[in-house]
Amino acid sequence: MINETAYNLGSCRSCIRELFEYGRQRAEVVGADNVFDYSLGNPSIPAPKEVGEALEAILRDMDSLEIHGYTTAIGDLQTRQAIADDLSRRWGNVKAEELFLTCGAAPALTAVFHALACPEGEILAIAPYFPEYRPFAETAGLAFRVVPPDVPEFQIRLEAVEAMLTPRTVAVIINSPNNPSGRIYSRETLEKLGKLLKEKEEAYGHPIYIVSDEPYRELVYGGREVPCVRDIYPDTVVCYSYAKSLSLPGERIGYVYVPSCAREHQKLYAAIAGAARAMGHVCAPSLQQKLIARCAHLRPNLEAYDENRRLLCDGLRAMGYEVAEPEGAFYLFVKTPGENPEDFYQRAKEKDLLVVPGDGFGCPGYFRICYCVQREKIERSLPVFRILMEES
C-alpha cells in the first residue's frame, strides 16, 4: 500500500548525493585530506559578516513572538519589499506583491511546476540541466522533455527547441548561470529563445512560460552580464534562493517572482500559492525572513571562488582537458578524456577524486567539478588530474 514512485525516489538517491556519501566514507578510511571531493555544490565561503551581525541584532532587539511567529503564507511584507527594492535597483519596477517567499528554490520550482500542470502538459529542459528538475516535473504530472546540449558552447540549440515545442508545452525551464556548465545564457541566446516562444505562443494560442531558475545569479566572474529574462520575454517566472549568494544553503529561504507583465499573472500567482499550500507550505522560516529584510541587498565576496576557478580551469587546460569557459556559479564542466568515460570516472574514483559524470545532467561525455572547496585541496588534486589525463 506504499506509493511506488515515492519509494523509488526515496530509495534511489541522486548520483550526486551518492558520490558525496561515498566521499564521506572514504574520508573515514584514508583521511579527509586525501579525498578530493568535487561532488556537492555546498558553498565554501562563509555568509557575509553582515549576516551574522543581522541575526544577532534581530535576536537582541526583536520580540520572540515577532521573530518566530507565523507570517502570512506569501511572506512578510517588509521582507518582500526589501527584495523588490533590491531587484528594482537592477531591473526596475519589481513590486512586493509579485513575490512569494518559499523554503528555498526547490519548493519554489515544485510549486510553479504544480501550478502549470495541466493534463498532457509538457515542460522542456535544456541539457545540461539540474537533475532534480525531472522528479519535480514528473511528480507534478508534467512530461519532462530534454533539449540536447549545445556542445561545446553550452548555449541553447534553438532548432532543437523549435522541433520539440508542441501545443502541449506549458513551460521551458532555464538555469543561468548554469549548473553544471557554469555558463551564462547570453542576451542574444535569450532573445532568440524569446522570439521563438512568442511565435509559438501565438500559434498555439496559450502562454508558454519561461521558468528561470536563478540561484547563481549573483555568482558571476569578470563583470559578465546576467540578462533580466523578464525584460526579454514577459511570460517569465523567476525562482530564487539565497543559498549560494548569501551562503545560506541549509536555511531554506527563497522566492518565486511572478512579474505582472506575465500573462495570467494573477491566476498563476494564486495557483503557485495553492500548490505550495497543498504541499504543506505554511511560510518561509520566519527568522530568515527577518534576516533577508535586512540583507537582501548584500552581494557575496567571490574572490575565493574566482581564484579556484582560474586555478582549476587554467591547470586543467594546460594538461589538455577541454573546459567550458566558466562564467558563473561554482562549476566547471569538462570533456571527459579518452574513449571510455566510464573508465575515466572509475579511475578517478580509485584515486579518491570525485567528479560527477554528466549523464545525470543529460550530457554524457562531460563531468562536473564543484570548485567550492579549499584552494589548497585544488592544488593537491592537480597532479591527480594530470595522471588521469596521461592514462587516458
Residues from 111 through 170 that contact a second copy (CB under 8 A)? 111, 114-118, 121, 132, 135-136, 139, 170
Which residues ranging from 289 to 308 are in contact with a second copy (CB under 8 A)?
289
Which residues ranging from 226 to 265 are in contact with a second copy (CB under 8 A)?
247-252, 264
Q: Which cell goes with 322?
A: 577541454
Chain centroid to CA 285: 20
Say how many Å lie between the first and final Cα of the chain, rounded.
49
Least Å distance between CB 304 and a second copy?
Answer: 12
One residue of 262, 275, 324, 356 binding a second copy per CB under 8 A: 275
Q: Are 264 and 104 in contact (CB under 8 A)?
A: no
Backbone phi and psi for residue 212, each to the nearest 5 degrees, phi listed first: -105, 110
Residue placing its CB nearer to a second copy in the complex, 74 or 146? 74
Residue placing its CB nearer to a second copy in the complex, 179 or 336? 179
Least Å distance between CB 19 and a second copy?
Answer: 14
Least Å distance between CB 262 and a second copy?
Answer: 11
- The DSSP element (H or E) to which 209 belongs, if any, is strand 209-213
370 binding a second copy? (CB under 8 A): no
Least Å distance between CB 289 and a second copy?
Answer: 8
CA angle 56, 59, 61 (to 5 degrees): 100
Q: Which cell goes with 195?
A: 522570439
Least Å distance between CB 341 and a second copy?
Answer: 27
One residue of 26, 145, 157, 206 binding a second copy per CB under 8 A: 206
Contact string (CB under 8 A) for a second copy, positions 30-69, x = contact = ----------x-xxx-xx---xx--xx--x---xxx-xxx
SS3 content of the chain, % helix, strand, coil (to 5): 50, 15, 40
Sole window of 8-16, 182-190, 301-309, 375-383 interacting with a second copy (rule: CB under 8 A) = 8-16
Residue placing its CB nearer to a second copy in the complex, 35 or 246? 246
- Residue 291 CA to residue 62 CA, distance in Å, equals 12
Q: Are 117 and 168 in contact (CB under 8 A)?
A: no
Handedness of CA 13, 17, 19, 24 (dihedral sign): negative
Handedness of CA 44, 48, 51, 56 (dihedral sign): positive
One residue of 161, 284, 329, 355 binding a second copy per CB under 8 A: 284
25 binding a second copy? (CB under 8 A): no
One residue of 23, 107, 194, 362 binding a second copy per CB under 8 A: 107
323 binding a second copy? (CB under 8 A): no
Task: Identify the DSSP state of 220.
Answer: B
Least Å distance between CB 117 and a second copy?
Answer: 5
Which residues ranging from 71 to 90 are in contact with a second copy (CB under 8 A)?
71, 73
Q: Are 75 and 247 in contact (CB under 8 A)?
A: no
Backbone phi and psi for residue 188, each to the nearest 5 degrees, phi listed first: -60, -45
Residue placing its CB nearer to a second copy in the complex, 90 or 267? 267
Find the radius of gyration of the CA atoms of the chain. 21
- The DSSP element (H or E) to which 289 belongs, if any, is helix 286-295
Contacts with a second copy by CB under 8 A: the residue count is: 82
